[in-house]
Amino acid sequence: MDADIKSKIIELSITGIKDIWNFEVPSGSIIIQKTRPEFTSDITLVVFPLTKFTKTSPDKTAQQLGEYLKNRIPEIEGFNVIKGFLNISLINSFWISFLHDMYDDTRFGFTPPGSSASVMVEFSSPNTNKPLHLGHIRNNLIGNSLSEILSATGNKVIKANLVNDRGIHICKSMYAWKEWGAGETPESSGIKGDKLVGKYYVEFEKRLIAQTKEKIISIYTQIIKQATPINEIKKEDIKLATFDAIPRTIETDYDYNEIKDAFARALITYNQTGRFPSIEEDKFIIEYFKKYTSLFNDAQEMLRKWEDGDETTIFLWKKMNDWVYKGFETTYRELGISFDKTYYESETYLLGKEIVDEGVRKNVFIRKEDGSVWCDLTDDGLDEKLLQRSDGTSVYMTQDIGTAAERFKEFPGMKKLIYVVGSEQEYHFKVLFLILKKLGYSWAGDCHHLSYGMVDLPEGKMKSREGTVVDADDLIEEMYETSRQTTKELGKLEGIPDKEKESICRMIGMGALKYFILKVDPKKRMVFNPKESIDFEGNTGPFIQYTYARIQSLLRKAGDWRKVTGDLPAGRHGRRQDTGNTLKIQPVEKNVIKLIFDFPGVIRQAADEFNPAVIANYMYELAKEFNHFYQTVPVLPAKGGSLPAGQAGASGGKAEDEERLNFRLRLSDTTGKIIKKGMNLLGINVPEKM
């Protein structure tokens, strides 16, 4: 329906410009948009792009085109011109007919599945050395919601998860458990599997940092003993073999000279104050030097054993990963997350090596004298990127090249591969996509990085290695408990059986969490406030859930009222086939219908922008507008009263009042359906009662 009237306006606008100004314009030049709130109309045609064809002012073009359209489209009631915008109003019966026509359309807003070409959305991608945290929650919610939205627009969507189940991070947890775990298991400790493994990762990191500090302080001491006045020391003065002999081939995100600068600063600070700089002050030093401790080397040795297939190491790796997977499953189940394909890094990390060799043969990549392979991106404004170490081992970029190629091979004709990954990886994906393009893959332009901002808490930024990161399970339970307390204080669930009450509380708590995160544009960094998220007023999930429950309560009352009066036409919620042009709808009713009318376009916009926030904020506007309608006009008669009249304080004839009752019930029912559909696209369930 929305496409029909808009298509008609576009087609006749093209014809009108030809008839009036004798100029043929492409259909893309006709821009139809939602009318801005400060203007009074239903649809707006943007005139400015047309003036280059009409050679007249925007206002004159709009006026002439508006008259042309009004004389030829019976649904147009009138129009006004404001600053080059042609604002079109549609007749009363158009909106009533629209509501009538779409009422039984269970797929309204959704596009039927199209071709067999698929879209893959990769999200979650957890490491198996720790439980999921708040940042993972945002990743999972964005990825899952985007998958639902893309599916609603006719795409065949593959939800994929790449589990990072190998590497030095899991070996740290394995080594710590082996050395200090005393055989502790999830069963013996009562600790969830992923949390138990995470506990040993944190323990390893604490001991590693302590050992790293000891090593650096010993270096400081040796330098101080032989140095000239230490306050005058500069980085070029630091010639001690224990520093300069460190190999520069180590894989690090930091520039070697920056590390020397940081080392000199920290050395002076330590000599003056006796205080070792914190990790936040000079993490350059910690991150660099920790790789030369005995503890790190022990974990590295365990990784080498894993790569060599050592049976004891593989057995321990499988056992601890199994603990983690069971823990992940519990968290995913609470979040309502599932996947169509799960990939494991242990099975994919060798992919890409053949592609790198092929790239060398084609002179796309460079093999240096030490045997390492690089891609020179300096002509593209970037730097050189390492693709293979001198010992022949791969880096993450190599793996990502291989997995991308493998996925397009596994799913021929796949039209989009979307990576939902934090904004700190923007440079990585920029380089990856450029390399894929240089390799000549035709699908390189079909890869997209959906970059999202980090999540902070009101008290500040999340931390990681210190073990103070916000655990996903703990946060979910906190949301449930806050929901229980809030609904009890407000009396929202009085009279509901305890078992059902608990189910609703969990639905509200999870809805609050998901909505608060998804209503923010993914590209923006955000602050998550658990207390603010569970509020039954304002732009929150519980407010929208409560609106849906209110509608269902209204419809149940309507059924009970009919049983008493027995004088309304039969049919679901008073549905009448003859509702039509005689009923005059009020502005508050029309505003709700207009928002329902927008629903298909909102879904398309969210899909085009890869942005669930478009759906979330539309849900809030619809719920807010419905509540205004509900509080402004009577939907049902007061107990023992007569049918609702068209205007406050006045009554029409009985037939008109019956028609109005049926219309308002249908409007309420349709709003509830749209709220449920839209919230489901966000992964949020809505309660039938509250």
pLDDT tens for each residue of 345-380: 999 888 899 999 999 999 999 999 999 999 999 999
In this structure, are 583 and 641 located in the same domain?
yes
In this structure, are 531 and 606 located in the same domain?
yes
In-domain check, residue 103: no
Closest by Cα among 45, 50, 60 to 26:
50
pLDDT surpasses 60 at 233: no
- Burial of residue 665 (number of CB atoms within 10 Å: 0-12, 13-18, 19+): buried
Long-range contacts of 316-319 (CB under 8 A, 24+ apart): 316/174, 316/177, 316/178, 317/166, 317/170, 317/174
d(CA 204, CA 198) in angstroms, rounded, equals: 10
In this structure, are 532 and 626 located in the same domain?
yes
Which residue, of 263, 297, 331, is where some domain finishes? 297
Which residue, of 456, 483, 507, is where some domain finishes? 456
79 or 28, which is more confident?
A: 79
Q: Which of 6-10, 89-93, 208-212, 621-625 has the lowest mean pLDDT?
A: 208-212
State which amino acid sits at residue 47: V
In this structure, are 406 and 483 located in the same domain?
no
In this structure, are 607 and 544 located in the same domain?
yes
d(CA 454, CA 135) in angstroms, rounded, equals: 7
In-domain check, residue 46: yes
The count of domains in the chain is 4
Q: What is the pLDDT of residue 464?
A: 44
Q: Could you give the strand order of the β-sheet that contains 118-122, starting from the edge strand earlier in sequence?
A: 341-344, 156-163, 118-122, 416-422, 447-452
In this structure, are 78 and 205 located in the same domain?
no
d(CA 155, CA 80) in angstroms, rounded, equals: 39
d(CA 201, CA 354) in angstroms, rounded, equals: 33
Which residue, of 245, 266, 297, is where some domain finishes? 297
Q: Crossing angle of helices 92-102/587-609, nearest 10°?
A: 60
In this structure, are 399 and 519 located in the same domain?
no
d(CA 624, CA 536) in angstroms, rounded, equals: 12
In this structure, are 422 and 483 located in the same domain?
no
In-domain check, residue 429: yes
* CB hemisphere CA count around 456 (13 angstroms): 9
| CATH code, domain carrying 499 | 1.10.730.10
In this structure, are 439 and 379 located in the same domain?
yes
| CATH code, domain carrying 450 | 3.40.50.620
In this structure, are 360 and 450 located in the same domain?
yes
In this structure, are 538 and 429 located in the same domain?
no
In-domain check, residue 465: no
In-domain check, residue 39: yes
Torsion angle defined by CA atoms of residues 101, 106, 111 and 117, in that order, rounded to the nearest 10 degrees: -150
| Boundaries of domain holding 239 | 193-297
In this structure, are 262 and 395 located in the same domain?
no
Query: Which stretches within 386-470 are classed as H helix?
Result: 396-410, 426-438
Q: What is the pLDDT of residue 638?
A: 67
Q: pLDDT tens-digit profile of 109-149? A: 999 887 667 999 999 999 999 999 999 999 999 999 999 99
In-domain check, residue 498: yes
Q: Report residue 650's pLDDT band, with 50, 70 and 90 as the boundaries.
A: very low
